[in-house]
Chain A
Amino acid sequence: MTTLIVDDHTGFRTSARILLQMEGFDVVGEAVDGASSITAAEQLRPELVLLDIQLPDAKGFDVARDLLSRGFTKRVILVSSRDESDYGDSIRTSGALGFVPKANLSGERLRSLLSRESLCD
């Protein structure tokens, strides 16, 4: 599955890329903020965007809505080093498939969220 990683923290992007590749995801690109993620997604048309919520120039929720409504991708999974409960219902209303805390990021968690999508279909 082609994947775009969006996060401003280099360390996390590196770890996430290694992890996702090990789990069989095809990491096609990385972006450091909201604006560059839109550009990258428009070019790459990734099947999945792993999107950090705390971006330097925007909130991940808004970026997610933007990416989905413009059809640059069909699936967005939000990540953050904060807890899910810190964001209230913003995650649910953003159109993203779901949320994974950064420290718990794993192929299993991602696949579980992706399968929920296919169930909905």
Chain B
Amino acid sequence: MAALVLEQSFETPITPEELNDAAARVDKCLEAHGARWMRSYLSLDRKRMICEFEAADAEAVRASYRAAGVTFDGCWSADVYSRDEPTASY
């Protein structure tokens, strides 16, 4: 499984309802593609968001967003460095 990062931006701040609605639609497709949402970071002005997933490839995440009709700015596979494992990657 690879770590995937997806970036989104919104012209107007995204509402919690929109967020939940989009998540519900995308989650369904993600599961079908064997991908898993890990966490998201939503900027305080609610206009930018970064989501982290685990999936076999980036296309699984892109296809899920496309199929769910949810727009995004980019999606890329990543190596993960963290405080616990500064040199480790997925």
Q: Please say whether chains A and B are actual partners in one complex.
A: no
Mark A residues whose CB is within 8 Å of B: none
